[in-house]
Amino acid sequence: MTGMIITGVVALIAGLVGGFFIGVYYLRKQLENMQNDPQMIQEMAKKMGYNLNRQQMNKAQQMMKNQSFGGKKRR
């Protein structure tokens, strides 16, 4: 009985930790893809209620390219 409870708790913790890292990986990939695809940036802005013009789009793309991921500077 106690072994089943311990196994369940360990499995729950492992699932939460694994899910967190998979989520972080997925989010990073999405942001990296968005840097190179202005259509994705435009779509995200529209979902947030903004309509970006060409100059704003270029500025947003440049900001994303200059952004560092995971504490590592991209060069």
Express each pLDDT in 13-31 by its tens digit. Answer: 999 999 999 999 999 888 8
Tell which wins on pLDDT, 69 or 28: 28
User: What pLDDT sits at residue 69?
Assistant: 56
pTM confidence score = 0.57
Nearest one of 55, 25, 26 to 38, comparing CA atoms: 55
Burial track 9-36 (b if 16+ CB lie within 10 A, e otherwise): eeeeeeeeeeeeeeeeeeeeeeeeebbe
Q: How many residues does the chain have?
A: 75
Q: Decide if pLDDT at 71 tops 60.
A: no
**Residue given tokens 């590592």 in the structure block:** 72
Q: What is the mean pLDDT of residues 35-64?
A: 85
72 bridge partner residues: 69
